[in-house]
């Protein structure tokens, strides 16, 4: 079987829709990061509340994990605009993007998550996913951007 038959054919409209979703997610993630950083009071880059994590997870669950580049672009944009060195920005981008991807994949495959959150297992899975994210390496290091 040829490789071209394994991948679905995408039209220009499909690509435009994907690019729009990625760009909007990157902008929303970045704006949410700015809001989160406004709540920092101990260190300039550590916030007790981090809305972008929830936004990234919700976007990947709603629109599919194929829009993960939006998370990566949002993290990179936020990191570089707040003055983080390139190497730290790349590390934060990888960590935060993988965190959102891992959460979405775990919820879909392990919990069989419904976006409507209409079952007890959806609620428990979402709460458990937050616990898993709460002990991620980025959180342990105190890096929130």
Domain ranges in the chain are 18-140
Radius of gyration over alpha carbons of the chain, in Å? Answer: 16
Least confident range from 39-43, 62-66, 86-90: namely: 39-43
Cβ neighbourhood burial of 94 (10 Å; 0-12, 13-18, 19+): middle
Give me the pLDDT at residue 141, please: 37
136 pLDDT exceeds 80?
no
Looking at per-residue pLDDT, the higher value among 74 and 78 belongs to: 74
Tell me the pTM.
Answer: 0.79
Least confident range from 2-11, 51-60, 73-82, 93-102: namely: 2-11
Q: What is the pLDDT of residues 93-110, one digit of tens each?
A: 999 999 999 989 988 988
**CA of residue 127 relative to chain centroid, distance:** 16
């Amino acid at each position: 079987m040829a490789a071209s038959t394994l991948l679905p054919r995408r039209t220009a409209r499909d690509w435009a829709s994907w690019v729009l979703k990625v760009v909007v997610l990157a902008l929303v993630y970045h704006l949410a990061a700015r809001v989160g950083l406004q709540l920092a009071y101990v260190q300039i880059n550590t916030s007790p509340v981090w809305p972008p994590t929830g936004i990234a997870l919700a976007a990947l669950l709603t629109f599919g994990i194929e829009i993960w580049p939006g998370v990566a672009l949002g993290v990179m944009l936020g990191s570089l605009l707040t003055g983080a060195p390139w190497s730290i920005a790349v590390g934060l981008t990888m960590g935060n993007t993988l965190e959102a991807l891992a959460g979405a994949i775990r919820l879909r495959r392990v919990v069989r998550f419904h976006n409507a959150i209409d079952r007890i297992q959806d609620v428990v899975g979402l709460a458990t996913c937050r616990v898993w994210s709460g002990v991620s390496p980025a959180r342990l290091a105190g890096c929130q951007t």
